[in-house]
Structure 1
């Protein structure tokens, strides 16, 4: 009888398509896992289709997406390792806090309720959405220039533009509004159960040059877990921006995640 392979659920964030996880899925399959990279609710199958029908994902909330991934996990044979980037990282934290994962990795996670720093670079990165209150119920697409500031600032301009053409898609603006207002909303959907001591281990990863989710945000996120005795660790990657899951250095981050999982017997 063959040993079952541990499932892994990859959750992408805003402005990248689910297929951007493809190299990770291939690597984790080779490493003996059973990875999947589900799309967000109503997200079209391809980058091209996503660009053609941006209205399909409009108004999707943090809870809409989280509920969607709960159902994905409920359909698996075993509790998965959950790996998320940006708002996918925030959703990873929510799911892990609810007991849905054997472990979680939140890469450059979006700001959860309780995190107070608000760096200027983060505000500028959010302006394509937050700059117009009417965007709350719309989807928003980045320009190549906006993508370079928010994702590719630590890359040569040519590589940033290539990643923009390959992976960038319109995304719902609503989660950005929700995260921005989280500390002023009692029952914010950006709230995470950071006190849960029975959850699986959590690895937070930050890119030191990230504009969209600056390292100070991830450091402050770590502090939110001070009341939990569960394993919570932080790994910072110097010289890396928000593109660290898809740029030329993605393998360094992925290998670090695989090493961490093995260290924890997963």
Structure 2
């Protein structure tokens, strides 16, 4: 296996209801391995999570649509000297898939990815977790903010209570219901028949909001035989995979996968 990466630049793509600080551990890990790393914030989400929560429910974050968030990363990548590796979590995984479709990146890793349009599975925990975020009977002019109980169930299940609270305090942020609903729109459409840069799906075995079955269905939709599309399920990982005690092991797995592409 080669130790030379396919590219030495990584752009981390944040998921919904959190800030880009969710990548701090992974960013430090890959920087120590010689990568140049970036974790751009979503529009109106540059401030610390506690400050963003104080703006809820009338935060400017409510203005964001999926296309607005994708454009942030498209523009950021366009000013880089080379096509980067992109690593996204949750909603960020969907954005990874959309960027691969644009032929904008060297490789992509979609961790516990939100699915593109048309990828569905029957799963009660998914419905219970996602339905509140859609805010179907509330104004799109206001933001959604998960309660701590919702956070415990959908995102941080299996973590010690102290860690659940710590990550909520440090990371939980209001989210645009327009952006979440965008995953059900044509803005989230993927042409699974197209050739694409190498793509790795990582699924959490204990993930309730983006369960492994959904990640497998997402992976299986890709049909271009000449493109690398890999899948790995990580037992015991909840949706808070990036901050679980196993995060370093998981980051090292991604690093090895990237090195093997060279």
- On whether the aligned pair clears a TM of 0.5, the verdict is yes
Pick from 231, 234, 238 the counterpart of residue 234 of structure 1: 231
Q: Which moved more, 1:158-167 or 1:141-150?
A: 158-167
Partner of 2:4: none
Query: Distance in 2 between the 1:31 and 1:120 partners?
Result: 40
Query: Distance in 1 between the 2:76 and 2:83 partners?
Result: 11
Query: Distance in 1 between the 2:225 and 2:187 partners?
Result: 20
Pick from 28, 34, 39 the counterpart of residue 26 of structure 1: 28
Q: Which blocks of at least 5 consecutive residues in structure 2 are unaligned?
A: 1-6
Partner of 1:195: 193
Three-state SS of the structure 2 residue aligned to 1:134 is coil
Partner of 2:214: 217
Pick from 89, 96, 101 the counterpart of residue 100 of structure 2: 96
Q: Which blocks of at least 5 consecutive residues in structure 1 are unaligned?
A: 183-187
Say if 1:43 and 1:131 are closer, same or farther in 2 by CA, change over 3 A. closer
Three-state SS of the structure 2 residue aligned to 1:67 is helix
Say if 1:143 and 1:68 are closer, same or farther in 2 by CA, change over 3 A. same
CA displacement at 1:237 relative to structure 2:
0.4
Query: Distance in 1 between the 2:100 and 2:162 partners?
Result: 37
Query: Scaled by the length of structure 2, what TM-score is found?
Result: 0.92
- Asked if the contact 1:129–1:135 (Cα under 8 Å) also holds between the matched residues in 2, the reply is no
Q: Number of paired residues?
A: 254
Partner of 2:170: 166
- Asked if the contact 1:12–1:18 (Cα under 8 Å) also holds between the matched residues in 2, the reply is yes
CA RMSD in angstroms, aligned pairs only: 1.6
